[in-house]
Amino acid sequence: MKDFNNKTVWITGASEGIGKELAIQLAKVGAKIILTARNTEKLQAVKDSLAGSGHFVYPMDLLKVETIPNAVEEILSKVDAIDILVNNAGISQRSLAKDTLMEVDRKIMELDYFAAIAMTKSTLPHMMERKAGMIITISSVAGKLGTPMRTAYCAAKHAVIGFMDALRSEVHADNIKVMVVTPGSVRTNISINALEGDGQKHNVTDPLIENGIPVEACAARIINGIKNETPELLIARGKERLAVYLRRFFPTLLFKMMTKLKAT
């Protein structure tokens, strides 16, 4: 997909972070953006900042997964097509497994995995009928390896990669592209919004996040990946990037290194 002009892009988690920056950059190259998140006020502010026209705000709580099929039907009644779906909404974790309530595990899995799957499955019939479309899912380096204080988050991000890898082969004949993005530390509010073991917000910016990849650079890399129809895009540097390759080629070494990692 080389040309974004007049393409309709639906982005979840669009009120801040990677989703917001993707909306800004894609609008500049002519895309029409559907902005989804819970906070209507923040979404409206993002919409007002976008170049071009034809953008609109569609607030929804993706934790209410059962409402997603009807939401997709409503969107399709408003637009000619959904050319690109970006499953970006998600939430992280900062707690040991032994201290994490099961309801927190379920909430993270519901948003980071089931919501993305429901969005995808509800949009697929439309894309298959048109024999065109692209589904982009923002996973994480945490979807490639397990790190302490992130058990539920890692589980959800691993799961979504597995689903999308299988889906990619299923929809290839329908000319639908599936792209998974695995960012490392990016300068967003992900650690501030992360859940602690009791479900409360972490409200702290991790040093890795604070010194992470600028969100503008991350979004630019994703857009380049869309243009090249890259199946899986790793956006990480330094130790995080190295860890992904160690997990693949030297897993025992990585596991030993993880036991010494002081995660926050």
Residue with tokens 């994490």: 100
Q: Supply 97's token pair.
A: 């497994």
Give me the numbers of helices (H) and strands (E) for the chain, helices first please: 11, 7
Whether 113 sits among the annotated catalytic residues: the reply is no
Distances (CA, A) of 57 to 12, 33, 38, 125: 11, 8, 10, 23
- For residue 56, the cross-strand partners are 34
Q: How far apart are CA 26 and CA 19, in angstroms?
A: 11
> Which residues does residue 35 pair with via DSSP β-bridges, in sequence order?
11, 57
Distance (Å, whole) CA 262 – CA 206: 12
Q: Which of 58, 113, 153, 245 is catalytic?
A: 153
Question: What is the three-class DSSP state of 86?
Answer: strand
User: Angle, to 10 degrees, between the axis of helix 151-171 and the axis of helix 102-109?
Assistant: 30
> Which residues have a catalytic role annotated?
153
